[in-house]
Amino acid sequence: MRTVGRRVQAGFTLIETILVVVLLGTMMAGMTSLFVESSRRSHEPYIRQKAIAIADAFMDEIIHKSWDDNTPLGGGCVDTGSGGCPGGPVAAGLAIDEASRIDFDDIDDYNGIRNQTPPRDSADNSMATYDGYVVSVYVDQTGSWNSVPSADNKRIRIDVTSPTQETVTLTAYRVNE
């Protein structure tokens, strides 16, 4: 006796194959657009890091200068009239005295740096590798800070704007001591 068996089919139908191809194509298109977008913006952290490095270099330079033109040699406080340092030399207040960055000897001297592009280093040389970055420095006495009278503290603010127009700001306070 002979049995006639049915032939078992294996594989995918044409419709199943087309569906898989369409789904894979859609997923690949979405992933490609995400990849292109992330590649397009991948330089931004590098540009931001360069702006932070510029601001940090300026702050490091400024914060290590004398508090005022009248600060005694070797350091010490200046008499501002607040009673915090009686008998010391009288403070000159906020001023820009030195004309060249090489001669800057106190933090007030940096107050006139505005929209400097490209930034200049401590020897007053142009930092050509940072072309497109803009630096501004502000030194002011804005009021009491941490219970230190206004006359005895100075706020230093450095703004660095990158070529992508993102601004990085560093702020520090120096106290008359």
Q: Which of 1-15, 59-73, 137-151 has the lowest mean pLDDT?
A: 1-15
Angle 12-18-23 from CA coordinates, rounded to 5°: 110
User: What is residue 96's predicted lDDT score, i.e. its pLDDT?
Assistant: 64
More confident residue, 176 or 94: 176
**Percent of all residues in the chain with a pLDDT value above 90, rounded to a whole number:** 46
What value does the mean pLDDT take over residues 94-108?
82
DSSP string, the chain: ----PPPPP-S--HHHHHHHHHHHHHHHHHHHHHHHHHHHTTTHHHHHHHHHHHHHHHHHHHHTSBSSTTPPTT----B-SSSSSTTSPBP--S----SSGGG--BGGGGGG--SBSS-B-TTS-B-GGGTT-EEEEEEE--S-BTTB-GGGEEEEEEEEE-TTS-EEEEEEEEE--
Q: What value does the mean pLDDT take over residues 78-101?
A: 78
pLDDT at 44 over 80: yes
Q: Is 60 exceeded by the pLDDT of residue 1? A: no
Locate 25 and state its tokens.
Answer: 């194509």
CA 81, chain centre distance (Å): 36
Percent of the chain past pLDDT 70, that is, above it, reads 92
Quick: pLDDT tens for 120-162.
998 989 988 999 999 999 999 888 888 888 888 899 999 999 9
CA distances for 162 relative to 22, 92, 121, angstroms: 43, 34, 17
**pLDDT for residue 36:** 82
Per-residue pLDDT for 59 more than 90? yes
The residue with tokens 């200068």 is 65
